[in-house]
A and B are shown apart, each in its own frame.
Chain A
Amino acid sequence: MKILGIESAALVASVAIIDENVTIAEYTTNFKKTHSETLLPMLDEIVKITGISLSELSAIAVSGGPGSFTGLRIGAASAKGLGLSLDLPLIHVPTLDAMALNIYSSDALIVPIMDARRNQVYTGIYKNDTKLEVKVPSMAVSVDELFEILKETDAKEKAGRAIFLGDGVPVFREYIDKNLEISHDFAPANLNRQRASNIAMLGMEMLKSGNIISADDMRPEYLRKSQAERERDVDKTDADL
């Protein structure tokens, strides 16, 4: 059962094809070039190299958010177009859940942080000793709010340690070192960003539990309204007061 994984929620563009228990191919880039220009050519490259036909796929797993609004839509449009043309189901994999798979066999709390601008991070709290456990699902919060939630979770889980990863790390590393009382580490360069094999792997599990969505219905989970809607909400609240 082969699954295609697509990841373009942030600066990383990544595609992977996995089978049961094996990653057949993965192509990941992390530099400033628009995903619109790279994502499908990268897929074409691994298809050509492996000789796998798209018709062999059972499903397409896509990094569903949160993340860059545009990045998420490029991934979603690619997955929806492939799903529609190949008549395949989609699997909407939470971006942060898949990131947490970078850390394995650890009793630490895993805390992926993505820079969400406006002084916030997209984050969640996980454990992955042998099986991924979602302790706090995806949210958009300030780093200080994250610290509070992390403290509560740490007290409950008695983990005593947290591992941070993601593109929020370079932005907030100093702040975390200075202000977080919990013992913590930062994942090394080979484990600190999104990758499509994680999306595909989590997608495989979700597929087996029937957690699929049609290509028509798939839409990203932004965790945030558009700026115009937020401003309008503020205006409405002001008016209500």
Chain B
Amino acid sequence: MKKNNIKILAIESSCDETAAAVVEDGRKVLSNIISSQIDLHTIYGGVVPEIASRKHIENINFVIRDALKEANVTFDDIDAVAVTYGPGLVGALLVGVGEAKALAYGLKKPLIGVHHIKGHVFANLIEHENLMPPFVCLIVSGGHTEIAIVKDYNDFEIVATTRDDAAGEAFDKVARSVGLGYPGGPKIDKAAKLGNPFAIEFPKARVNDSKYDFSFSGVKSAVLNYQNKANMTGEKINVNDLAASFQRAVVEVLVEHTVTVAKDYNIKNVAMAGGVASNTALRSLMEEKCSEEGLKLHFPSPVYCTDNAAMIGVAAYYEYLNGNFKDLTLNAVPNLEL
């Protein structure tokens, strides 16, 4: 099997983005098409799984055609078809998985199943040519909050996880509660820039019995309590201050734990992945702490932070090199573990 000029057609449909990409040799993104449904879900204040699934099935062939066209390739040039098969919304995943399997079967090309979070981690490789394992990666999104040690391309160890909500989920809930709307992450980020992060002291997102794990339910409840109390006493809330203070309580712990892991495991390269990795406060504090500790920080551009198929094509390349292919029984696994 050839090892160079491997072109992978990758498909991602785990949540509310229908995406397809063509990636060469795990680093070179030839195309990266994303059809976002965010406007459809905004009126519901969050992703509605059934609506997402319906949109995926309507969009998917067009997105794939666009990815081929933009990459200037045809199906003949493709070496393998890759797809996110979990974790994610089961109905949404099933569209991508069903489509990818049928494509691979129709084209007689190998099929590769990719873990969505692995994709997010590997998104870092797209723009950082010199980044290679081992590195520590903080994964923060609406569904995930984890610190992974990437020992090798196909060898991950999760050393920290959240005990309750994901960080992005906490952002969404707080944003909704204070009337900033959906999606919460960018809205809070924006409001926080106008506020004082030290105005209100919220509990930190850590747990007592673990050095690395996270918990966001405490800080989330504290924000909601603060708001309820203010409502009862008729006190006016400064939303910008609240957003900034909440964001600080979350971001400080994310950074602190990531840096601790890197130091404890003596790893010099740190990366960030997932939608929340584009949060500006998180980026600047992580940069500050990493440079203090002599660590090299990497993070993807925003387009590779949110859900996309290019990152799936990158991760798939290493499965391809390992000969790790799936057969036609591949199913969507909504709670797929790393």
Listed in ascending order, the chain A residues whose CB lies under 8 Å from chain B are 34, 36-38, 40-41, 43-44, 54, 69-70, 73-74, 76-86, 215-216, 219-220, 222, 226-229, 232
Contacts and interface: CB of A to CB of B under 8 A. Distances in A.
A45 B51 CA distance: 33
A81 B65 contact: no
A205 B129 CA distance: 56
Contacts of A83: 61
Going nearest first, the 10 A-B pairs with the smallest beta carbon separation are A81-B102, A77-B98, A85-B106, A226-B50, A216-B61, A40-B328, A228-B48, A81-B99, A81-B103, A77-B99
Contacts of B58: 219
A216 B58 CA distance: 8
Contacts of A219: 54, 57-58
Given A41-B328, A73-B91, A73-B94, A80 B51 contact: no
B51 A226 contact: yes
B1 interface: no
21 contacts: A36-B331, A36-B332, A40-B101, A40-B328, A54-B106, A76-B57, A77-B60, A77-B95, A77-B96, A77-B98, A77-B99, A80-B61, A81-B103, A82-B103, A84-B61, A84-B102, A85-B103, A85-B105, A85-B106, A215-B61, A226-B54
Nearest to B43: A232
B75 to A, nearest CB: 6
Which one of A54, A81, A219 has the greatest number of beta carbons of chain B within 10 Å? A81
Contacts of B60: 77, 80
A22 to B, nearest CB: 24
A105 to B, nearest CB: 36
Contacts of B51: 226, 228-229
Most buried by B among A37, A54, A216: A216
Contact of A78 (B50, B96, B101, B330): B101
Given A77-B95, A216-B65, A220-B57, A85 B102 contact: yes
Contacts of A232: 43-44
B198 interface: no
B105 A77 contact: no
Interface string B33-67: 00000000001100010110110111011101100
B75 A81 contact: no
Nearest to A80: B61
